[in-house]
A and B are shown apart, each in its own frame.
Chain A
């Protein structure tokens, strides 16, 4: 706009002989507006970077600690009198062992260990001392006994999860002051934890089980992990990839290369663009109504989640693929047609390979979007509390599972602050996956991008 008006002024007659060092008021004004614009752009970029840094700092400071976990290491005597009363080690009888049977074993073991090391804190007896150990520990022990029945009657070294409060104490979440007001932990118990730590019985280690363990109930945040969620998300991504990529690419090729240009294809085009903007929760309702209520697929299953996310991802893939196909110079297709290739040969031998990087990039971005999607999954029941790992595909696609973003949502809804830390940890895991996917997309584009 400025340019044209400047042109008209110039046409009207610019004063002739003038030094180049003299800058006219008009030129100065144009420069000023350019500088202003540049500054505004720079400010916008700086603002975005600060916002991003703030977000990353908050997530990392809250979540990084979830990758470490406090464990109590000690020997537990697997008492045959309690675990195997009949003494026949039969699997059926062993399977009947309850965690209530095992709890006293741990209590005795801890008391004996403390006594042996000469650790004693006033106000803590054997019953309250064992509260330092997670309620998950008996289950951990039971699992071990069932897997190794031959070790019954021996003392075995175990690394048992410390309770969430003790873990929180070493992460700064729990203090002596807060413990005094807390029904679940007392300052004396914290003192005992310190003693145990000094004796080398209690330590923090990298928390592998955060990635492998299933979710845990409200009272044992220290045991909660992302195993089921990661598996569920992976299953859904497989389904989305297997369905959305071929369907999306086929639809794009048809629309771009074969479909006649008429009102119907225009309508389809507009609707695909609109579909990409439909709120994701609408897809969830659709999934609930069609896949669960009408088709009768199971709730909470990766297959339903995968189908819903496929519907969501399709527009993204179609739009990206069509753009990639359009970007291939028509001269390449003409060349193939000109020597007698059929339309399909021209497309599959020449156009599609050249469009592949664009298609892959679009697909990966679509997958990344689907990976982070929460709302539609809530509606199809993936928010359920799932402790069982889904089976191997394809049957596993029909087993209940969770998903990463849903797990984040789920944990933020729980009361214990330890779950908030885990939610932040899960966000970090999710972000790492997304960053990896986007990096792959960028690398693919760099690697296969062709210039002609």
Chain B
């Protein structure tokens, strides 16, 4: 199985220059329990990479490794190497705050701060000192909200609490908050799982637009979503990377039986 995956990767490999992030032999342990087994996965620049697989397969764990959100879990241990533009993000000399400013994250459940819409977006630029004046900050907030396709809906109530928005709006606000610090990579952990189909469509559309400026890695349970928004897909099962490649090929002609069964809904 692993051999097949390697072959596959060779077949449609990303050009060396197009690699944004690269995971080499990434294993993750929660205490004694191993959650990820020697995952080798590259993320291409300015594209959407979808991570799919049944629940508990390790795709979210891998995603959280990419900006070291796993650090917040005491018993979690990561081995192997993950690079961002060729630099090992697990190097002890790397400051995790710098990393997270470049690799942002959007979570499964919309989690706006219980503050105003404006404050939600302005918080990141403010702590990173990206602006010198109120006007500049206003500009960043507006452009971020515009990029997140929510500006028109909230421009008249920027100082109302972000928690008062609908679920889909909240999630787009969270995306705006993530892009306000101008990250290079945005990680999305099932961003649409708490949203209705209409809000989902909006967020998917947004992801497709964001691809022009950002590198996006998205974890999803929806095969259709993976097929719609991503250029490359990686299939995980039981903590191992089963198959990885161009999305179109993977959904029409998967290499492994496991992937075929999963995307056709026969298991998982």
Taking beta carbons and an 8 Å cutoff, which residues of A are in contact with B? 260-261, 329, 331-342, 345, 349-350, 354, 450, 452
Q: How far is the CA of A349 from the CA of B67 in the complex (A)?
A: 21
User: Closest Cβ of chain A: how far from B153's Cβ, in Å?
Assistant: 20
Partner of A335, one of B101, B113, B181: B113
Instruction: Give 30 pairs: A residue, B residue, CB < 8 Å, sorted on A.
Output: A260-B74, A261-B74, A261-B75, A332-B113, A333-B72, A334-B69, A335-B107, A335-B113, A336-B113, A338-B100, A338-B104, A338-B107, A339-B100, A339-B123, A339-B127, A339-B180, A339-B181, A340-B97, A340-B99, A340-B101, A340-B124, A340-B127, A341-B124, A342-B97, A345-B127, A349-B123, A350-B113, A354-B114, A450-B114, A452-B163
Known: A339-B123, A340-B128, A345-B127. 9 other contacts (CB 8 A): A332-B113, A334-B111, A335-B107, A337-B72, A338-B67, A338-B100, A338-B104, A339-B180, A349-B127
Nearest-neighbor residue (CB-CB) of B120 within chain A: A335
CB-CB contacts of B191-218 with A at 8 A, as 1s and 0s? 0000000000000000000000000000
CB-CB contacts of B101-112 with A at 8 A, as 1s and 0s? 100111101011
Q: How far is the CA of A342 from the CA of B174 in the complex (A)?
A: 18
**Are A340 and B98 also in contact (CB < 8 A) when A331-B111, A350-B113 are?**
yes
Q: How far is the CA of A340 from the CA of B103 in the complex (A)?
A: 9
Q: How far is the CA of A341 from the CA of B120 in the complex (A)?
A: 13
Whether B107 contacts A334 by the Cβ 8 Å rule is: yes
Number of A-B residue pairs having CB atoms within 8 Å of each other in the complex:
69
Set of chain B residues within 8 Å of A354, measured between Cβ atoms: 114
Set of chain B residues within 8 Å of A450, measured between Cβ atoms: 114
**Are A339 and B72 also in contact (CB < 8 A) when A332-B113, A334-B107, A350-B113 are?**
no
Q: How far is the CA of A349 from the CA of B163 in the complex (A)?
A: 17
Whether B69 contacts A337 by the Cβ 8 Å rule is: yes
Q: Does B237 belong to the interface (CB within 8 Å)?
A: no
User: Closest Cβ of chain A: how far from B32's Cβ, in Å?
Assistant: 15
Partner of A339, one of B109, B114, B163, B177: B177
User: Closest Cβ of chain B: how far from A347's Cβ, in Å?
Assistant: 12
Q: How far is the CA of A350 from the CA of B101 in the complex (A)?
A: 18
Set of chain A residues within 8 Å of B111, measured between Cβ atoms: 329, 331-332, 334-335
Q: Does B36 belong to the interface (CB within 8 Å)?
A: no
Q: How far is the CA of A341 from the CA of B104 in the complex (A)?
A: 11
Nearest-neighbor residue (CB-CB) of A450 within chain B: B114
Q: How far is the CA of A195 from the CA of B232 in the complex (A)?
A: 106
User: Closest Cβ of chain B: how far from A100's Cβ, in Å?
Assistant: 71
Set of chain B residues within 8 Å of A334, measured between Cβ atoms: 69, 72, 105, 107, 111
User: Closest Cβ of chain A: how far from B7's Cβ, in Å?
Assistant: 36
Set of chain A residues within 8 Å of B106, measured between Cβ atoms: 338
User: Closest Cβ of chain B: how far from A143's Cβ, in Å?
Assistant: 58
User: Closest Cβ of chain B: how far from A257's Cβ, in Å?
Assistant: 10
Set of chain B residues within 8 Å of A337, measured between Cβ atoms: 69, 72, 100
Q: Does B5 belong to the interface (CB within 8 Å)?
A: no
User: Closest Cβ of chain B: how far from A285's Cβ, in Å?
Assistant: 39
Nearest-neighbor residue (CB-CB) of B101 within chain A: A340
The 8 A-B residue pairs whose C-beta atoms are closest, nearest first, are A340-B101, A338-B105, A331-B111, A340-B100, A339-B124, A335-B111, A342-B97, A261-B74
Q: Does B41 belong to the interface (CB within 8 Å)?
A: no
Set of chain B residues within 8 Å of A349, measured between Cβ atoms: 123, 127
CB-CB contacts of B35-72 with A at 8 A, as 1s and 0s? 00000000000000000000000000000000101001
Partner of B69, one of A261, A332, A338, A350: A338
Set of chain B residues within 8 Å of A342, measured between Cβ atoms: 97
Residue among A329, A354, A452 with the most chain B CB within 10 A? A452
User: Closest Cβ of chain A: how far from B147's Cβ, in Å?
Assistant: 15
Q: How far is the CA of A342 from the CA of B68 in the complex (A)?
A: 13
Q: How far is the CA of A340 from the CA of B100 in the complex (A)?
A: 5
Q: Does B263 belong to the interface (CB within 8 Å)?
A: no
Q: Does B250 belong to the interface (CB within 8 Å)?
A: no
Whether A331 contacts B107 by the Cβ 8 Å rule is: yes
Whether B104 contacts A339 by the Cβ 8 Å rule is: yes
Set of chain A residues within 8 Å of B124, measured between Cβ atoms: 339-341
B residues 154-180 near A (Cβ < 8 Å) are 163, 174, 177-178, 180
Set of chain A residues within 8 Å of B72, measured between Cβ atoms: 333-334, 337
Partner of B178, one of A260, A333, A339: A339
Q: How far is the CA of A261 from the CA of B73 in the complex (A)?
A: 10
User: Closest Cβ of chain A: how far from B84's Cβ, in Å?
Assistant: 14
CB-CB contacts of B128-165 with A at 8 A, as 1s and 0s? 10000000000000000000000000000000000100
Q: How far is the CA of A61 from the CA of B177 in the complex (A)?
A: 63
Q: How far is the CA of A133 from the CA of B215 in the complex (A)?
A: 92
Q: How far is the CA of A450 from the CA of B114 in the complex (A)?
A: 8
Residue among B67, B127, B180 with the most chain A CB within 10 A? B127
**Are A338 and B127 also in contact (CB < 8 A) when A260-B74, A452-B114 are?**
no
Nearest-neighbor residue (CB-CB) of B68 within chain A: A337
Nearest-neighbor residue (CB-CB) of B72 within chain A: A337
User: Closest Cβ of chain A: how far from B197's Cβ, in Å?
Assistant: 23
